């Protein structure tokens, strides 16, 4: 299936529909990633496959359809020929693939089971995390700058806790998870920002599929519904935000009103298709940056990387002039496109590589990004020796990195700060588990019971 579907897709597009060779190849490769993702879902938490599918959507599929279908009506057009663009985008995707899978890890195939004592320790701790995550997330709005971001990271432990509790006892804790996601949806509707809500629902969907192992038809139906809902959200969120700016209160009724404002053409008109492709097309920024850099011969070597590293590693107290998220200066200088302040666009990983060292720079950056993700997986694998449920810490650590449109300094800073924050959390959590185990062992020994004392087994596998 992994070869058959991409091959049939290529033949259909190139021969029957008249797509360019390179566009047909790009779509076929992306279909291969989709098939691999769907096939992996029942056998693992398909997080690496999800990363490849999302980057392929932004750098292969959407650019190909823009070339072949919507180039004439697209707001942002592809600046290069399909051959020039895909001759770098396709090898970059393969380099990203190689980096992600270079280091072996078993964290995505854990069997989540534990002895009775370990389960009790996990439940107690996870319920504390759930409450603490809610309180920290609520208090985040009152904290400035870096402290607010640390609170954002720590607040995400509520999702880790909710996922883990659901696995421990689905009947008992499912309403905890449903309530958490419902509150997240309400929060998104209030401000018109849906990224976190969509990401956490997708992350849980991967976990649920691995645990429940639904049939292929069920996965197809659920996947189709998810794509349709995401398309609708992409189509109406601009209208919805305009309603909020005009003073309309956010909520389901306002969302319904935004859907109805699409007019007689309905949601699935060519304009909405073109708009959705544009929003999922990081390739137009890459092609524009390539054209602009080649014309000016303004290759930066490590200059941009130094700015990104400063933003990622140094607190603002030590680097008051470091880059901020959403800073338009670098985008305007290197993309060849000017955007106004308040508009959020990022060059993206592949464009940063090209601006630094040209063609080979894009390949190196793509591979190193995959390798960074692989290193995060190995770090989380060490944390799972405390509890197997801590595998879910991958999600908050790489929440921004899995977005192809995210600025490099943003996802770098997110990973660096996340590693520091969660490493400290893991240190105290390990101490908590060890102390609880030691206390229980001492109590059992003093009771003169002949039964063996329960022992905490850090890694059940």
For 117-130, the DSSP string reads: HHHHHHHHHHHHHH
Predicted confidence at residue 113, as pLDDT, reads: 61
Q: Is the pLDDT of residue 85 over 90?
A: yes
Q: For 428, phi and psi rounded to 5 degrees?
A: -70, -30
Residue range 180-196, pLDDT digits in tens: 989 888 888 888 888 88
CA angle 240, 246, 249 (to 5 degrees): 65
Return the percentage of the chain with pLDDT > 90, whole number.
Answer: 40
Q: Is the pLDDT of residue 70 over 80?
A: no
Predicted confidence at residue 123, as pLDDT, reads: 85
Is 451 inside a domain boundary? Answer: no
Predicted confidence at residue 455, as pLDDT, reads: 44
| Between residues 142 and 50, the one the model is more confident about | 50
| Between residues 184 and 379, the one the model is more confident about | 379
Return the percentage of the chain with pLDDT > 70, whole number.
Answer: 89
Task: Report which of 20, 25, 26, 22 is spatially closest to residue 62, judged by C-alpha positions.
Answer: 26
Task: Report which of 370, 282, 230 is spatially closest to residue 58, judged by C-alpha positions.
Answer: 282
Q: Is the pLDDT of residue 420 over 90?
A: yes
Neighbours of 145 (CB within 10 A): 11
Name every residue whose Cβ is closer than 8 Å to that of residue 221 and which is 6 or more positions away in sequence: none
Predicted confidence at residue 367, as pLDDT, reads: 97
Q: Is the pLDDT of residue 235 over 90?
A: no
Is 184 inside a domain boundary? Answer: yes
Q: Is the pLDDT of residue 117 over 50?
A: no
Predicted confidence at residue 374, as pLDDT, reads: 96
Q: How far is CA 425 from CA 132, 313, 381, 418, 421, in A?
A: 13, 19, 15, 10, 6
Task: Identify the band that residue 115 occupies on the pLDDT scale cut at 50, 70 and 90.
Answer: very low
Cβ burial 265-301 (10 Å sphere, 16+ → b, else e): eebeeeebbbbbbbbbbbbbbbbbbbbbbeeeeeebe
Is 453 inside a domain boundary? Answer: no
Q: Is the pLDDT of residue 328 over 80?
A: no
Is 458 inside a domain boundary? Answer: no
13: number of CA atoms within 13 Å, CB side? 24
Predicted confidence at residue 460, as pLDDT, reads: 42
Of the listed ranges 17-21, 112-116, 132-136, 355-359, the least confidently predicted one is: 112-116
Is 450 inside a domain boundary? Answer: no
Q: Which span out of 155-164, 245-254, 265-274 was modeled with the highest average pLDDT?
A: 155-164
Task: Identify the band that residue 25 occupies on the pLDDT scale cut at 50, 70 and 90.
Answer: very high
Q: Is the pLDDT of residue 213 over 80?
A: yes
Task: Identify the band that residue 458 occupies on the pLDDT scale cut at 50, 70 and 90.
Answer: very low
Of the listed ranges 81-95, 154-168, 444-458, the least confidently predicted one is: 444-458
Q: Is the pLDDT of residue 265 over 70?
A: no
How many folded domains does the chain comprise? Answer: 1
Is 314 inside a domain boundary? Answer: yes
Predicted confidence at residue 54, as pLDDT, reads: 94
Predicted confidence at residue 120, as pLDDT, reads: 67
Is 383 inside a domain boundary? Answer: yes
Predicted confidence at residue 286, as pLDDT, reads: 95
Separation of alpha carbons 41 and 28, rounded Å: 20
Average pLDDT, the chain: 85
Residue 58 per-residue DSSP state: I
Is 434 inside a domain boundary? Answer: yes
Task: Identify the band that residue 454 occupies on the pLDDT scale cut at 50, 70 and 90.
Answer: very low
Range of the domain at 363: 4-445
Q: Is the pLDDT of residue 263 over 60?
A: no
Rg of the Cα atoms in the chain: 24
State mean pLDDT over 400-405: 90
Task: Identify the band that residue 457 occupies on the pLDDT scale cut at 50, 70 and 90.
Answer: very low
State mean pLDDT over 275-299: 89
Q: Is the pLDDT of residue 354 over 90?
A: yes
């Amino acid at each position: 299936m992994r070869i058959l579907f991409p091959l049939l897709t290529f033949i259909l597009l190139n021969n029957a529909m008249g797509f360019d060779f390179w566009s047909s190849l790009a779509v076929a490769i992306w279909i291969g990633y989709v098939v691999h993702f769907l096939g992996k879902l029942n056998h693992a938490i398909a997080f690496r496959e999800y990363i490849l599918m999302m980057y392929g959507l932004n750098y292969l599929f959407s650019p190909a359809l823009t070339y072949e279908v919507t180039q004439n009506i697209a707001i942002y057009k592809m600046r290069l020929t399909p051959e020039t663009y895909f001759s770098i985008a396709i090898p970059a995707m393969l380099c990203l693939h190689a980096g992600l899978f270079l280091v072996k890890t078993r964290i995505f195939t854990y069997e989540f089971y534990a002895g009775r004592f370990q389960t009790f320790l996990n439940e107690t701790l996870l319920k504390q995390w759930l409450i603490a995550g809610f309180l920290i997330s609520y208090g985040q709005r009152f904290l400035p700058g870096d402290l607010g971001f640390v609170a954002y990271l720590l607040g995400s432990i509520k999702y880790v806790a909710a996922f883990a509790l659901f696995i421990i006892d689905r009947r008992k804790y499912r309403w905890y998870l449903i309530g958490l996601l419902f509150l997240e949806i309400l929060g998104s509707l209030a401000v018109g920002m849906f990224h976190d809500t969509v990401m956490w629902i997708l992350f849980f969907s991967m976990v649920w599929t691995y645990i429940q192992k639904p049939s292929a038809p069920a996965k197809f139906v659920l996947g189709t519904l998810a794509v349709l809902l995401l398309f609708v959200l992409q189509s109406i969120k601009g209208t919805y935000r305009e309603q909020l700016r005009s003073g309309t209160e956010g909520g389901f009724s306002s969302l319904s009103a935004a859907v109805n404002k699409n007019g007689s053409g309905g949601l699935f008109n060519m304009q909405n298709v073109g708009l959705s492709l544009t929003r999922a097309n990081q390739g137009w920024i890459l092609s524009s940056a390539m054209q602009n850099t080649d014309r000016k011969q303004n290759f930066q070597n490590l200059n941009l990387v130094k700015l990104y590293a400063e933003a990622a590693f140094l607190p603002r107290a030590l680097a008051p002039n470091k880059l901020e998220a959403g800073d338009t200066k670098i985008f305007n200088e290197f993309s060849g496109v000017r955007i106004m302040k308040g508009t959020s666009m990022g060059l993206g990983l592949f464009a940063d590589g090209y601006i630094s060292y040209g063609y080979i720079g894009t390949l190196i950056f793509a591979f190193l990004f995959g390798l960074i993700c692989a290193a995060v997986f190995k770090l989380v694998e060490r944390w799972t020796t405390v509890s197997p449920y801590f595998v879910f810490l991958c999600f908050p650590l790489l929440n921004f990195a899995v977005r192809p449109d995210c600025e490099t300094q943003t996802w770098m800073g997110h990973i660096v700060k996340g590693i520091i924050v969660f490493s400290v959390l893991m240190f105290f959590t390990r101490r908590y588990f060890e102390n609880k185990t030691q206390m229980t062992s001492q109590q059992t020994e003093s009771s003169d019971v002949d039964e063996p004392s329960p022992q905490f087994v850090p890694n059940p596998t």
